[in-house]
């Protein structure tokens, strides 16, 4: 092996690399989170970066189970869409290719709680 060989790390993902939310994805998520906190609906969140999925969990209280999970699964990008909102009971509330469109499911819950 030549010691001067250059390999581009951005062109391929090593097997152990984890999935993360990008800054452009966290912006709309944190915006919604802030509005829900201001409305008194949510109080805490957690972010996980795993091998196949990135997860943003929201909690009413920090000691409870997650109310909702916002998931990013890049392997589903060509199929149902890589973003999903999953409820506390495990049901998929919305899945799609556009994160902002998927987050609208939770926006409706904010509007109902304010009324």
| In a domain? residue 9 | no
Alpha-carbon gap, residue 49 to 115, rounded angstroms:
35
| In a domain? residue 38 | yes
| In a domain? residue 1 | no
Q: Which domain holds residue 67?
A: 23-114
| In a domain? residue 13 | no
Please, which pLDDT band fits residue 6 given cuts at 50, 70 and 90? Answer: very low
Q: What is the pLDDT of residues 70-110, one digit of tens each?
A: 999 999 888 989 999 999 999 999 999 999 999 999 987 66
Alpha-carbon gap, residue 83 to 61, rounded angstroms:
24
Cα 70 to its chain centre, rounded Å, is 4
| In a domain? residue 78 | yes
Please, which pLDDT band fits residue 5 given cuts at 50, 70 and 90? Answer: very low
**SS3 for 88?**
coil
Instruction: Please choose, from the candidates 50, 84, 80, the residue with its C-alpha nearest in 3D space to the C-alpha of residue 68.
Output: 84
| In a domain? residue 3 | no
Inform me whether the pLDDT recorded for 62 exceeds 80.
no
Tell me the two tokens of residue 50.
Answer: 């795993």
Total structural domains within the chain: 1
Inform me whether the pLDDT recorded for 58 exceeds 60.
yes
Cα 81 to its chain centre, rounded Å, is 12
């Amino acid at each position: 092996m030549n010691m001067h060989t250059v390999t581009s790390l951005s062109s391929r993902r090593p097997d152990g690399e984890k999935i993360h939310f990008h800054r452009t994805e966290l912006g709309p998520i944190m915006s919604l989170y802030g509005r829900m906190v201001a409305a008194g609906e949510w109080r805490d969140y957690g972010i996980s970066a795993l091998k196949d999925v990135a997860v943003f969990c929201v909690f009413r209280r920090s000691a409870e189970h997650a109310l909702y999970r916002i998931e990013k699964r890049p392997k589903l990008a060509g199929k149902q869409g890589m973003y999903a909102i999953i409820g506390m009971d495990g049901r998929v509330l919305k899945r799609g290719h556009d994160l902002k469109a998927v987050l609208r499911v939770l926006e409706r819950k904010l509007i109902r709680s304010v009324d």
